[in-house]
Amino acid sequence: MRVFSYNGAEWGTRASFLGFCYSDWGKNSMFLHFLRRASVVLLCVLAVAGSPALAKRGNVAAAVNGSIASGGSNCTICHGGGGGSGSVQILGAPSVYAAGAIYDLTVRVSDSAQLGAGFQLSAEDGTGAHVGTLLITDAINTELNGSNPNWVNHTELGVVDSVANWAANGNSADYNVRWAAPASDVGPVTFFAAGNAIDDNNSLVGDNIYTTSQTATLAIVPAISDWGVATMVLLLMTTGTLLLRRDVATA
């Protein structure tokens, strides 16, 4: 048996290595002592270096879906690859939302040149503050991002499922997520999604990254006439307040 370094370069035969280890010099030297320590450290380093790679498939970093809160960062900060001719879509997002209402959204990643997909979704206001509540309805394939409920992602199993059903789904994968609108008016809400259409090689190359966003406004019907224009002008002049009537949200 021969001894190899982690990158495959040959260091020497195991016999010659052991010969050295069991020589008087090897057994008693500080060098061997150091070597023992170093090998433990090396194994630890390799274990740690290996684990993020394994974890990433099902444990994506938060704030990489191209949103305002992401500072525009998306999966491409790690994943390379061509632009691709596929897409990510947010289906079921309302164009007008009702306060307190529940919406079932689907993030669909499609790419006829690829073999599976992952995603990340968030709901934010114009300043990047997260709005409403993201709820998990499919815990096998989707999860909140670690302890951070502001982002929802694929799970590792979700990626495996997407690969298994990719062709049957017309070279696409659907991830279902529920969003509960905030109880009160917070103005326009934008859903941001990033999709990674993968070549299923467990690496950072050869993936196609897509981003999209869709904005929903709260159903408010300003009815100035109800107040009377004269009253409005008076109010505006005396208090600097502009009063609009807010109707009950409809959609």
Read off the amino acid at residue 14.
R
By CB under 6 A, is residue 89 in contact with ligand HEC? no
- Span interacting with ligand HEC, options 33-41, 117-125, 164-172, 217-225, rule CB under 6 A: 117-125
Chain-centre distance for alpha carbon 142: 10
Distance CA 30, CA 172 (A): 58
Q: Tokens 């994968």 sit at which residue? A: 173
By CB under 6 A, is residue 49 in contact with ligand HEC? no
Asked if residue 162 lies in contact with residue 137, where contact means CB atoms within 8 angstroms, the answer is no
By CB under 6 A, is residue 198 in contact with ligand HEC? yes
Phi, psi angle pair for 32, to nearest 5°: -70, -40
- Smallest distance from ligand HEC to CB 154, Å: 6
Of 28, 39, 202, 231, the residue at the interface with ligand HEC (CB under 6 A) is 202
By CB under 6 A, is residue 113 in contact with ligand HEC? no
Distance CA 72, CA 144 (A): 20
By CB under 6 A, is residue 79 in contact with ligand HEC? yes
Q: How many CB atoms lie within 10 A of CB 249?
A: 18
Asked if residue 192 lies in contact with residue 62, where contact means CB atoms within 8 angstroms, the answer is no
By CB under 6 A, is residue 64 in contact with ligand HEC? yes
- Span interacting with ligand HEC, options 17-25, 72-80, 123-131, 232-240, rule CB under 6 A: 72-80
- Span interacting with ligand HEC, options 42-50, 85-93, 129-137, 191-199, rule CB under 6 A: 191-199
Task: Dig out the tokens for 235 from the structure.
Answer: 């109010």
Residue 245's nearest CA partner among 234, 182, 231 is 231
Q: Residue 142 or 218: which CB sits closer to ligand HEC?
A: 142
- Smallest distance from ligand HEC to CB 7, Å: 17
Pairing, β 148-154 against β 96-97: unpaired
Asked if residue 203 lies in contact with residue 117, where contact means CB atoms within 8 angstroms, the answer is no
By CB under 6 A, is residue 61 in contact with ligand HEC? yes
- Residues in contact with ligand HEC, counted by CB under 6 A, come to a total of 26
- Smallest distance from ligand HEC to CB 79, Å: 6
Q: Which residues sit at the interface with ligand HEC, rule CB under 6 A?
A: 53-54, 56-57, 60-61, 64-65, 74-75, 77-79, 118-120, 159, 194, 196, 198-204
